[in-house]
Amino acid sequence: MFLYQLLNFFFAASKKEEDSKYDLSLYKRGDLLEVPRTLFTHFGIYLGNNRVAHLIPDILPAITKDKSAIAKMVTNNRLLMGVITKVASVRVDSVVDFAYGSDILINHMDKVCSQPPLDGDEVARRAEKLLGSVTYSLLWYNCEHYVMYCRYGMAISYQTYQFCTTVRKIVFSRMSAYLTALCGVSFMLYLSCVTPLTVLLTALISFTIWMAS
């Protein structure tokens, strides 16, 4: 019994310390909040009264109907499995659960986006209207697309653009063209299948990558 009370005391103390990390007076209804989460930055819209609407991948709703379990903070494991299975939802969490221990940037995208932000109440209304299950796409509909639509009226993702640009530089590079040609020739020689068709395909693919580089 004493051990149970001691554990509860430490849990309550750590929870209080975590809550005090975030000054709610800094956030206004309609603010765009962002935090580092796993490999990407995570985004949400502050609704007021310690509530943040955010689109987050989560595998749990696909495997259980336990609403109390689903309502708990989304862990990184739940998030990553949700990304893989494309299961997500726009949900409302507390600032602490949204931030997941990270520091919060407020309206940082205002400096990046050329479009001026909408009125705070309108931003929040849009965020609330989209609550519920969604089909997730890392490239075409993620948390950044959601908040950008709510705050600026256009569903875009700078993270996705940067990611695709990086991949393009890697895939469509002169080195990739050389390696593709080398692998194609090696493959044909290894399988003894040097035919006009295989030679043409190898040359065509290598040439396409070369021209795109």
Q: What is the pLDDT of residues 85-142, one digit of tens each?
A: 999 999 999 999 999 899 999 999 999 888 999 999 999 999 999 999 998 988 889 9
Cite the active site residues. 143
Strand order in the sheet with 40-48: 105-106, 32-37, 40-48, 51-57, 87-93, 132-135
Are 147 and 116 part of one and the same domain? Answer: yes
Are 44 and 74 part of one and the same domain? Answer: yes
Structural domain boundaries, residue 149: 18-159
* Within-domain flag for 45: yes
Number of DSSP helices (H) and strands (E) in the chain, helices first: 10, 6
- Provide the domain count of the chain: 2
Are 141 and 173 part of one and the same domain? Answer: no
* pLDDT, tens only, 24-83: 999 999 999 999 876 789 999 999 999 999 999 999 988 998 989 988 988 889 988 998
Are 60 and 43 part of one and the same domain? Answer: yes
Strands 105-106 and 51-57: unpaired
Model pTM greater than 0.75?
A: no
Are 71 and 103 part of one and the same domain? Answer: yes
